Each structure stands twice: as C-alpha cells, then as structure tokens.
C-alpha cells in the first residue's frame, strides 16, 4: 500500500501540469488544423477563379466542366486535406482524456488521504483541483472543436464528397460515350 501511496503522491504533484500541457498542445493542434483547412480552401478558391472558363481534358480524355480548375488539382487538394484530417483526428481524441486525468488526480488525492490523514487538506486540494481543471479543459476544448475546427473540417469533407460523386458521374458518362462511339 505504501508504494501505491507514493505513486499517488507523485501523480498528484504533476497531474495539473500534465493537464495544462496537454490542453495547450490540443489547442495548438486545433488551431493548426483550422488554419490548414482555411488556407487549403482559400488556395482552392483562388485556383478556381484563375481557371475561369477553360475547357480541359484529363489524361483519360474526360472533359471537365468550365468551373473546375482541373480534376488532378482537386485530387491533390483532397490528398492534402486527408493528411490534415489525420492530424486533426489525433488531437480530437485528446479531448476525452481530460476528465480521465481529472479523475486520476481525484483518486490520487484520495489515496494520499488514506495513507496520511495529517495531509488531508493537501490531498483534498489535489483531488478537487485536478477534477476541476480536467473538466474545464474538456469543456473548453469540446466547444472550440464544435464551433471552429470540426465545422471547417466538415465543410471541406462535404466538398470533397461531392467532388468524388461528380467525378464518378463524369467518368461513368465518359465511359458510356466511348462505348456508344464504339458501337455506332
């Protein structure tokens, strides 16, 4: 039991710093994701304006609409977005950890209490401060994710979903036209 109490004291001494560090890292990751998605969207919009009314063909001979810069460019942007999405999903998984760290601090404080009743005040302070800090971090980060980051990510994801559907429709139409030309 003494080893457990020593571990609890060690964890209790550093858990708030761990929570704060992880919160700063998560905020940084969310902001990085938001600005990457925003920059990607701006670049895509700029490229679309530059292409104007060009009619282009892919290597496979698929005619592209005038308002689309190139299918290949769009595929490159989709690949860049998917890389950003992978990073975002890592930071998104940090949010549920904060209440768990808070609970860990609470438990370590309670173990400290049981091992040394004279340190009751310090143990209760550890218990309550870590729970409070973990919950505050989780709430703030969840709100930030919901209102800012996931909104930007979801908007781009919907764009690329529509692009993939349109690309497949154009490809299917082209295949049908080629087949009709062969027959006729």
**Predicted local confidence at residue 136, as pLDDT:** 92
Q: For residue 166, how many other CB atoms are within 10 A of its CB?
A: 14
Given this model, what pLDDT does residue 66 score?
45
Distance of CA 127 to the CA centre of its chain: 30
CB 22 within 8 A of CB 98: yes
pTM of the model: 0.71
Q: What percent of the chain has pLDDT over 70?
A: 88
Give pLDDT, residue 20: 93
**Residue 52 structure tokens:** 């104007």
Please state, for a pLDDT cut of 90, what percent of the chain lies above it.
25
Q: Which residue in the block uniquely carries the two structure tokens 């998104």? A: 92
pLDDT, tens digit (0-9, with 9 covering 90-100), for 124-155: 887 888 888 889 999 999 999 988 898 889 88
Please tell me the predicted confidence (pLDDT) of residue 162. Answer: 81
At residue 36, the pLDDT reads: 94
24 or 2, which is more confident: 24
Total Cβ atoms within 10 A of residue 124: 15
Q: Which of 51-55, 101-105, 161-165 has the highest mean pLDDT?
A: 101-105
Residue 67 — very low, low, confident or very high, per pLDDT cuts 50/70/90? very low
Token look-up 């005619």 returns 63
pLDDT score of 56: 55
- 37 contacts: CB under 8 Å, gap ≥ 6: 81, 84, 152, 153, 155, 156
Give the pair of three-digit tokens for residue 26. Answer: 């998560």
Is the pLDDT confidence value at 184 over 80? no
The H or E element that residue 63 is part of is: none
Q: Can you give the pLDDT at residue 138? A: 92
CA distances from 20 to 11, 33, 40, 77, 144 (A): 14, 20, 30, 34, 16
Among candidates 50, 52, 74, 34, which has minimal Cα distance to 165?
A: 74
Which of helix, strand or coil describes residue 57?
A: strand
- Residue among 79, 22, 57 at smallest CA distance from 170: 57
């Amino acid at each position: 039991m003494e080893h457990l109490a020593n571990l609890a004291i060690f964890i209790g001494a550093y858990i708030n710093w761990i929570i704060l560090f992880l919160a700063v890292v998560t905020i940084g990751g969310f902001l990085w994701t938001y600005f990457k998605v925003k920059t990607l969207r701006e670049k895509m919009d700029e490229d679309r304006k530059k292409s104007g009314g060009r009619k282009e063909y892919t290597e496979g001979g698929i005619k592209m609409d005038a308002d689309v810069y190139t299918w290949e460019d769009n595929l490159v942007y989709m690949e860049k977005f998917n890389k950003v999405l992978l990073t975002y999903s890592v930071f998104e998984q940090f949010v549920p950890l904060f209440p768990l760290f808070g609970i860990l601090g609470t438990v370590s404080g309670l173990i400290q209490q049981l091992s040394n009743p004279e340190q009751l005040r310090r143990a209760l302070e550890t218990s309550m401060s870590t729970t409070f800090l973990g919950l505050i971090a989780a709430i703030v980060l969840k709100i930030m994710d919901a209102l800012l980051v996931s909104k930007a990510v979801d908007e781009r994801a919907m764009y690329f979903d529509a692009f993939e559907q349109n690309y497949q429709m154009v490809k299917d139409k082209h295949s049908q036209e080629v087949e009709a030309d062969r027959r006729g």
